[in-house]
Structure 1
Amino acid sequence: MKFRIAENSLFAILLRSNWWVSFLVAGGIVLLSSLLLPAQFIVYGAIVAAPFLVIGFIAAWRQLQAPGAASIAATVERVAAMSREELTAALEEGFRREGHTVSRIDSPGADLELTRGGRTVLVSCRRWKAGRTGVEPLRELQALREARNAQGASCVAIGEVTDTALAFAARHGIALMQGPELTALLRGKALSRRA
């Protein structure tokens, strides 16, 4: 069983923030401890800062691993030049590296079905080259998700996503795989053949 932090907890917010924010909070706790607590209890106040330091290191590691703007632009350019078959194969390889069991499906709403830990996610990459992604492909994906009782859904889109589509995706919990997500997934082998 994987441990999950509540999305709006203090630690989850700090993990999404810049790394230095957690270190600033830890420093503030240590400073307040030294000002407000008797000398023999300062060490206990400082111990309270330890989780914030750990979160700061985790956030720093994640931010160092995140793809940069040049890498994202290069990935989007490569993905735009791929055929549908090449993209599907690259996505399959990337998802398999992440530990998913991947199978192709022939359906109007999705191209891949991912399974890991008893959880099923449908992935649509049919209209990845569209300059502007509207709500219709997301509706098709959501309908298929409901028909197959899948727990998750994801749509690949390298172009602009309309506000209506963004709202629909948020309302139905559909993940949008755009430049940063594709760069992280396709890093390494999946794109090296195209380089």
Structure 2
Amino acid sequence: MARRKKTSPLEDILDLLSLLPWWVCLVLAAVSYIVLSNLAAPIKPSDIQGQGGAMVGAMMQKAVIHGLATIGQYLAPLMCLIAAAISAWRRKQRRELIAGVSQAESSDALDGMSWREFEILVGESYRQQGYRVAELGGAGPDGGVDLVLIKGNEKFFVQCKQWKAYKVGVTTVRELYGVMAAKGATGGFVVTSGRFTADAVEFAQGRNIELVDGPRLFAMIQRARRTGTSPPQSNPADSLALAQRPEATAIAKAETAAPDCPRCGASMQLRTARQGANAGSNFWGCSTYPKCRGTRAAG
């Protein structure tokens, strides 16, 4: 997934504040103004105590604090107000994304969004399941983790991959598993708008990692919207028990049986020829058609 460009310290602070609820930002704006405006009050001679060098040092210290507070009494509340607006806008954006996808007819609705929109959508889908969600954007200290989910005393890591043309491989799953072990996470999720390779599915089996592809994410959102209630919690530990069943293993293998395109390496889809000498017969066609016209014979 794409990563954010290098930003200034002020932008980093603003982005951190915008992760808070909008009303918290408003409270911080009021508190920061009250505190800093008191510190920005004119310096009185009675405020300076000491003799000689001590007095000079105290005066310099007061002057520095006064200067910073004079600027900060306006800058800090302004940043909090901007963060509140961003937080409210993101909340509105999350709701619109969920509503738009839930009203779509297929998981193709996930393809047109940006990586940032996809990450927001995934976070909101887990928020609807009762998790508290922290958005890191892959820029935090947790080795590419995009979301951190909290439920009770348990912590889960999420990696989001907005990839449609290519399957998510085992390297991504191994990376998340290593971060989980290092940080003591209860479990993890790898969520993609596309599919997973057979190696990735095999590696996840027996480990507390759940793989969520595009159709499964779409179904999860649709089910929540249709019933008007949150979908049942999807816990990696439950998925581990399910994956150990023979029928679940067969389903996983069937989902990953699609070959890769011989031309571009993208996943392929089973299609039926509509004309020509092979009309009515099945064949594998590249999922990026018409950009790529790679085909394989269906066995």
Return the TM-score normalized by structure 1.
Answer: 0.54
Segments of structure 1 that go 5 or more residues without pairing to the other structure are: 1-70, 190-195
Paired letter, 1:153: G
How is 1:36-75 mapped onto 2 (pairs within 5 angstroms)? Answer: 74-75=105-106
Q: Is the 8 A contact 1:75 1:182 kept in 2?
A: no
Paired letter, 2:108: E
SS where residue 140 of structure 1 aligns?
helix
Q: For residues 118 and 195 of structure 2, what CA distance do their matches in structure 1 show?
A: 19
Aligned to 1:171: 206
How far does residue 81 in structure 1 lie from its aligned partner after superposition?
1.2
Q: Confirm whether residue 136 of structure 1 aligns to residue 171 of structure 2.
A: yes
Alpha carbons of 1:85 and 1:136: their partners in 2 closer, same or farther (altered >3 Å)? same
SS where residue 161 of structure 2 aligns?
coil
Aligned to 1:84: 115
Q: For residues 172 and 109 of structure 1, what CA distance do their matches in structure 2 show?
A: 19
Match of 1:155 among 170, 182, 190: 190
Higher RCO, 1 vs 2 (CA within 8 Å, ≥6 residues apart): 1
Aligned-residue sequence identity (percent) comes to 33
Q: For residues 200 and 133 of structure 2, what CA distance do their matches in structure 1 show?
A: 26
Q: Confirm whether residue 102 of structure 1 aligns to residue 137 of structure 2.
A: no
Q: Which deviations, in whole Å up to 9, do the C-alpha atoms of 1:17-66 show, x marking residues without a partner?
A: xxxxxxxxxxxxxxxxxxxxxxxxxxxxxxxxxxxxxxxxxxxxxxxxxx
RMSD of the TM alignment (CA)?
2.4
Q: Which has the larger radius of gyration?
A: 2
Q: Which deviations, in whole Å up to 9, do the C-alpha atoms of 1:122-145 show, x marking residues without a partner?
A: 111035435212111111111111
Comparing both structures, which one devotes a greater share of its residues to helix? 1
Q: Which deviations, in whole Å up to 9, do the C-alpha atoms of 1:120-177 show, x marking residues without a partner?
A: 1111103543521211111111111112110011101233322211111113221011
Q: For residues 182 and 105 of structure 2, what CA distance do their matches in structure 1 show?
A: 36
Alpha carbons of 1:110 and 1:176: their partners in 2 closer, same or farther (altered >3 Å)? same
Q: For residues 121 and 168 of structure 1, what CA distance do their matches in structure 2 show?
A: 18
Aligned to 2:157: 122
Count of paired positions = 118
Q: Is the 8 A contact 1:102 1:113 kept in 2?
A: yes
How far does residue 101 in structure 1 lie from its aligned partner after superposition?
0.4
How far does residue 115 in structure 1 lie from its aligned partner after superposition?
0.6
Paired letter, 2:202: A
Q: For residues 170 and 114 of structure 1, what CA distance do their matches in structure 2 show?
A: 21
Aligned to 2:94: none
Alpha carbons of 1:158 and 1:87: their partners in 2 closer, same or farther (altered >3 Å)? closer
Q: For residues 158 and 182 of structure 1, what CA distance do their matches in structure 2 show?
A: 8
Paired letter, 2:192: A
Return the TM-score normalized by structure 2.
Answer: 0.36
